[in-house]
């Protein structure tokens, strides 16, 4: 058997420790598949004295992770520190500059700097692997680069954040409001103390930027993504969604259009018959639509030590076996920025919930605002009556229309004296 692949681990948190544990637990089958052993020879983390679940004896410790990335005797640096800049970026850039392969789970770093890092890696003839940066243990990037290499991808979409999916699932199943479920998610460790990165769609956008770049062969374009989170989704909206035959999911969606590449992250009304509607709790799923293969869906755990370590080790095995491919599926030299489709040009159907005064003429005024923007109503729900001065919910769904027209109608409706709260608008996704 060939010489070992010598690995340096930068970051020994949940995923770092999980990666080391997996390399040791499955050393024999990993070596057989790679054609040689995979050995961690060096490690670095913020706190050397912290108690860890893995034994670090026999591994050289480095207080400076960037310096470790430049030392001789290392073939690949695994960066598991996190963050779009700072030490994580220095580690990756240093490793590449010194001719080391890089494997990372750092979606933020790649969403902001992925195109530049891919070009640097190509110039140095080293691999940049980041399977673990998108959807945890789901091997979606390998599927796109290799299994679907003969396809034109027509659309890719997915549930890419387990925290949001857990919250929406619990809100539906337990008929509880967002704030209550969020508090429970934080207590159980599914949500951070400051959950904005997840709840506001940023985490999903980072992953979608990478998926879209691999699927469509362009530069990473985080700035081209329309991003909305789930804070405005209420238990009432989830109940109405069910009555209309939908489930609400936070999706990341990318597809080519006549106006350029459309990339968007927002809550969606998903038909209950769609397979992705049944992906529950902290699970992730990605759906790819190819011209030759049709529709594929991959589902699994999108985070955690073992699923993410599985993806890290998969990249390491490819490097050890000499199968290192361009991280984005095409040579970095052709990763050019394409045309971005403005969200205002998006076409789709919409769900709108209004809280209105219960008096004659309200619906006529709302219908007139929609008519003035050439937005056609599909159906309307109004249940019960309200006492004088109290609000009553009215739900409207529309036929397919342009986003800009729908937003103009919403603005006009929100300005009506009889509309007592800002309208809640959720896009309906045709899956």
Which residues have CB under 8 Å from 397's CB, separation 6+? 244, 349, 350, 351, 352, 377, 378, 379, 380, 428
The H-or-E segment that residue 425 falls in is strand 424-428
- CA 7 – CA 276 distance, rounded (Å): 37
Choosing from 100, 107, 207, 249, which is the catalytic residue?
207
Which residues have CB under 8 Å from 358's CB, separation 6+? 385, 386, 390, 391, 392
Helix, strand and coil content of the chain, in percent to the nearest 5, comes to 40, 25, 35
Contact between residue 220 and residue 115 where contact means Cβ atoms under 8 Å apart: yes
CA neighbor of 34 nearest in space, from 392, 356, 324: 324
- CA 357 – CA 361 distance, rounded (Å): 10
Active site residue 207: yes
- CA 25 – CA 20 distance, rounded (Å): 9
Q: What residue ranges in 45-152 does DSSP mark as E strands?
A: 60-61, 76-79, 101-104, 128-129
As given in the structure block, the two tokens for residue 261 are 């590449």
- CA 231 – CA 306 distance, rounded (Å): 30
Active-site annotation, residues: 207
């Amino acid at each position: 058997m060939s010489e070992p692949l010598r690995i340096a681990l930068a970051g020994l948190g949940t995923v770092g420790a999980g990666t080391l544990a997996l390399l040791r637990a499955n050393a024999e089958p990993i070596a057989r598949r790679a054609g040689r052993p995979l050995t961690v020879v060096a490690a670095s983390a913020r706190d050397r004295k912290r108690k860890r679940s893995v034994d670090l004896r026999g591994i050289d410790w480095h207080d400076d992770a960037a310096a470790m990335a430049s030392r001789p005797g290392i073939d690949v640096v695994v960066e598991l520190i996190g963050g779009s800049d700072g030490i994580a970026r220095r580690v990756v850039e240093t490793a590449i500059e010194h001719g080391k392969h890089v494997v990372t789970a750092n979606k933020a770093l790649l969403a902001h700097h992925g195109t530049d890092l891919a070009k640097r890696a190509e110039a140095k003839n080293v691999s940049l692997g980041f399977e673990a940066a998108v959807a945890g243990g789901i091997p979606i990037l390998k599927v796109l680069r290799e299994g679907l290499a003969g396809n034109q991808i027509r659309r890719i979409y997915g549930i890419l954040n387990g925290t949001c999916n857990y919250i929406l699932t619990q809100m539906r199943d337990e008929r509880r409001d967002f704030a209550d479920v969020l508090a429970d998610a934080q207590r159980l460790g599914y949500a951070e103390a400051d959950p904005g990165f997840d709840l506001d769609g940023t985490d999903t956008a980072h992953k979608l930027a990478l998926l879209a770049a691999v699927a469509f062969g362009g530069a990473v374009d985080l700035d081209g993504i329309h991003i909305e989170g789930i804070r405005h989704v209420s238990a009432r909206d989830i109940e109405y969604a069910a009555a209309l035959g939908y489930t609400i999911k936070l999706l990341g969606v990318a597809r080519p259009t006549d106006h350029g590449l459309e990339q968007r992250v927002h809550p969606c009304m998903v038909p209950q018959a769609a397979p992705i509607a049944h992906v529950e709790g902290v699970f992730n799923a990605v759906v790819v639509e190819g011209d030759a293969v049709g529709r594929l869906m991959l589902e699994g755990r999108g985070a955690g030590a073992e699923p993410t370590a599985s993806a890290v080790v998969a990249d390491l095995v490819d490097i050890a076996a000499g199968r290192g491919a361009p991280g984005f599926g095409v040579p970095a030299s052709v990763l050019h920025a394409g045309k971005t489709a403005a969200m205002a040009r998006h076409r789709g159907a919409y769900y709108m919930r209004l809280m209105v005064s219960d008096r004659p003429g309200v619906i006529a005024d709302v219908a007139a605002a929609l008519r003035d923007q050439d937005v056609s109503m599909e159906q309307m729900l109004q249940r019960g009556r309200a006492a004088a001065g109290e609000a009553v919910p009215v739900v409207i769904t529309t036929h397919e229309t342009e986003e800009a027209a729908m937003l103009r109608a919403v603005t006009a409706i929100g300005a009506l004296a009889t509309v007592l709260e800002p309208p809640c608008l959720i896009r309906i996704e045709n899956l």
